[in-house]
Amino acid sequence: MIPTIMIAVKDLTPGLMLSHPIITPDGKILLDRGGIINQRTIELLTIWDINYVHINSNDQVSETSLQEQFPSYSTDISVECRRFLNNYDTLVTSVANSFDFIRNQNKLPILELKDTSFTIYSSILTTGPAIMDYLLIGDHQLANEVSQHNVMVAYISGLIGRQLKMNESELQTLTLSGLLHDIGKMVIAKEGLAEPHAHVVNGGQLLRNVRGLPEEVMLSLLQHHEYLDGTGFPMGVTSHKIHPYAKIITIANIFHVETYKNDLCNPFAALTILSNDLFGKIDPIICQILIQQIRASLLHTHVMLSDGRQAEVFYFPPSNSNSPIVQTLDKEIIDLSESEDLTIHYLMNSDYMTS
Q: CATH homologous superfamily of domain 4-61?
A: Molybdopterin biosynthesis moea protein, domain 2 (3.90.105.10)
Q: 272 and 321 in contact (C-beta within 8 Å)?
A: no
pTM to 2 decimal places:
0.76
3-state SS of the chain: helix, strand, coil percent to 5?
50, 15, 35
Note the pLDDT of residue 30.
66
Q: What separation in angstroms does the CA of 212 have from each of 91, 207, 208, 249, 300?
A: 23, 10, 11, 21, 45
108-161 pLDDT, tens digit each? 999 999 999 999 998 888 777 678 877 886 555 544 578 889 999 999 999 999
Note the pLDDT of residue 27.
56
141-153 pLDDT, tens digit each? 544 578 889 999 9
Note the pLDDT of residue 350.
42
DSSP one-letter code for 291: H
Q: CB within 8 A of 153, min separation 6: which ones? A: 178, 179, 181, 182, 249, 252, 253, 256
Rounded to an integer, what is the distance from CA 345 to the centroid of its chain?
19
Note the pLDDT of residue 66.
38
Low-confidence ranges of the chain (pLDDT < 50): 1, 60-76, 142-143, 191-192, 350-355
Measure the CA–CA gap between 291 and 255, rounded to whole angstroms: 10
Note the pLDDT of residue 136.
80
Measure the CA–CA gap between 314 and 317, rounded to whole angstroms: 10
Measure the CA–CA gap between 351 and 158, rounded to whole angstroms: 29
Q: 286 and 251 in contact (C-beta within 8 Å)?
A: yes
Q: What separation in angstroms does the CA of 325 have from each of 19, 177, 298, 305?
A: 34, 36, 12, 12
Continuous segment of H or E residues that includes residue 76: none
Residue type, 294: I
Residues in a beta bridge with 139: none
Strand positions, DSSP E, the chain: 4-8, 16-18, 22-23, 29-31, 52-60, 302-305, 310-315, 325-328, 333-335, 344-348
Alpha-carbon dihedral angle through residues 283, 286, 290, 296, given to the nearest 10 degrees:
120
Measure the CA–CA gap between 140 and 156, rounded to whole angstroms: 16
Note the pLDDT of residue 140.
52
Domain boundaries along the sequence of the chain: 4-61, 79-296, 300-352
Architecture of domain 79-296: Orthogonal Bundle (1.10)
